[in-house]
Amino acid sequence: MSLSETATQAPQPANVLLEVNDLRVTFATPDGDVTAVNDLNFTLRAGETLGIVGESGSGKSQTAFALMGLLATNGRIGGSATFNGRETLNLPERELNTLRAEQI
């Protein structure tokens, strides 16, 4: 018996909860722009768990802050992030508050 005959994969849920494409996070400083996240891509489906690991200063927290609309005032976001099929980057503050309170 081969491994492929004995092992079965758990079915992958089809619905995408969060899809991030080419996420970029930069911060304007007196010395010029600083890039915290550069072209990050991932897809998270229902039932999946995503862990983001990296060294200090690698952009883990800034990724989460950007996706939730909680960057510092000098932060800028590029790319795309959809949550339940809805683009979330650059949503008005009121809509972000509702999204964070009710769905995240």
81 CB burial (10 A radius; 0-12, 13-18, 19+) = buried
pLDDT value at position 48?
A: 94
Contact 59, 37 (CB under 8 A): yes
Residue 3: inside a domain, yes or no? no
**Measured between alpha carbons, how far apart are the two ends of the chain, in Å?**
45
Kindly report the backbone phi and psi dihedral angles of residue 89, in degrees, each rounded to the nearest multiple of 5, phi listed first.
Answer: -70, 135
7 domain residue, yes or no: no
Q: CATH number of the domain that 42 lies in?
A: 3.40.50.300
Low-confidence ranges of the chain (pLDDT < 50): 1-13
Residue 64: what pLDDT? 95
Whole-prediction pTM value?
Answer: 0.80
DSSP 73: T
In a domain, 55, yes or no: yes
pLDDT at 25: 98
